[in-house]
Amino acid sequence: MIALLKDLGASKKLSTIIEGESLMNDSVALGLAFGIASLLWLGFIFDGTIIQISLTLAVRYMAFFTVR
């Protein structure tokens, strides 16, 4: 998409806005994927409060580490 904008002679500001929007979409999709994965993991664990808290923190850290 950015290459097409460059070929058409679009402004740098427009290219930056479109590129930023694309990054935002990717981060939302990644957040949803980690959220769904954590829900599935926690769905199998009913009584282990410590395990649920540990998994919640671990999934958050994995999401942060992946995005960073």
Cα of first residue to Cα of last residue in the chain, in angstroms, is 24
Every domain of the chain and the residues it spans: 2-67
52 class by beta-carbon count within 10 Å (0-12 exposed, 13-18 middle, 19+ buried): middle
Rounded distance between C-alpha atoms, residue 46 and residue 13, angstroms: 50
Contact by Cβ (8 Å): 30, 68:
no
pLDDT of residue 45: 64
pLDDT tens for the 68 residues of the chain, in order: 667 777 788 788 877 888 888 878 888 888 888 888 877 877 776 667 777 788 778 878 888 887 77
